Amino acid sequence: ETGVTQTPRHLVMGMTNKKSLKCEQHLGHNAMYWYKQSAKKPLELMFVYSLEERVENNSVPSRLSPECPNSSHLFLHLHTLQPEDSALYLCASSQEAWTSLHFGNGTRLTVT
Partner 1 sequence: KNEVEQSPQNLTAQEGEFITINCSYSVGISALHWLQQHPGGGIVSLFMLSSGKKKHGRLIATINIQEKHSSLHITASHPRDSAVYICAALPRGAQKLVFGQGTRLTINP
List residues binding partner 1 (CB under 8 A).
37, 40-45, 48, 55-56, 58, 88, 90, 92, 97-106, 108
Comparing CB distances to partner 1, the nearer of 52 and 56 is 56
Minimum distance, C-beta of residue 84 to partner 1, in the bound complex (Å) = 19
Comparing CB distances to partner 1, the nearer of 61 and 98 is 98
Comparing CB distances to partner 1, the nearer of 57 and 80 is 57
Q: Exposed, middle or buried: residue 13 (CB in 10 Å: 0-12, 13-18, 19+)?
A: middle
Minimum distance, C-beta of residue 17 to partner 1, in the bound complex (Å) = 22
Closest of 72, 82, 70 to residue 109, by C-alpha: 82
Residue type, position 5, single letter: T
Residue 98, CA atoms < 13 Å, CB-side half-sphere: 3
Minimum distance, C-beta of residue 16 to partner 1, in the bound complex (Å) = 26
81 and 99 in contact (C-beta within 8 Å)?
Answer: no
Comparing CB distances to partner 1, the nearer of 12 and 55 is 55
Minimum distance, C-beta of residue 42 to partner 1, in the bound complex (Å) = 4
